[in-house]
């Protein structure tokens, strides 16, 4: 599974944080690694440089072998919270896809 990290102009990802995100996603999605060919991570700050609640956005798009891509979005006060929430949503969606693939 290839992970591609994309950010908006308001965010610069340092090497350590990039590695932390990659590890979190690899561990969280290890059960589905045979399904996912590529995972795109889009991080953005909806308010730009202004402060605000739940203004950090994480969109995860999973490319699945033989299926349409799955995309989930989550907002949070921090990027970590946004990523964790999106990961939870993606795991739920992948569970449904995996269940349908097994039943066919």
Per-residue pLDDT of the chain (104 residues; tens, 9 = 90+): 999 999 998 888 899 999 999 999 999 999 998 899 999 999 999 887 677 777 899 999 999 988 899 999 999 999 999 999 999 999 999 999 887 777 65
CATH at 53: 3.30.160.100
pLDDT of residue 94: 94
Residues 6+ apart with CB under 8 A from 86: 58, 59, 60, 72, 73, 74
Other beta carbons within 10 Å of 67: 12
For 45, the domain range is 2-103
For the chain, the domain total comes to: 1
Angstrom distance (rounded) from CA 2 to CA 13: 18
Identify which of 39, 29, 46, 32 has the alpha carbon closest to the alpha carbon of residue 82.
46
Measure the CA–CA gap between 45 and 7, rounded to whole angstroms. Answer: 9
Question: Model's pTM, two decimal places?
Answer: 0.89
What is residue 102's predicted lDDT score, i.e. its pLDDT?
A: 72
């Amino acid at each position: 599974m290839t992970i591609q990290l994309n950010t908006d102009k308001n965010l610069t990802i340092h090497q350590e944080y990039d590695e932390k995100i990659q590890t979190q996603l690899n561990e969280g999605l290890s059960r589905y690694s045979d399904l996912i060919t590529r995972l795109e991570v889009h991080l953005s700050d909806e308010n730009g440089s202004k402060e605000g609640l739940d203004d950090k956005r994480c969109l995860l798009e999973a490319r699945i072998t033989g299926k349409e891509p799955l995309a989930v979005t989550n907002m949070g006060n921090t990027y970590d919270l946004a990523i964790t929430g999106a990961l939870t949503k993606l795991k739920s969606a992948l569970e449904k896809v995996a269940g349908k693939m097994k039943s066919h």
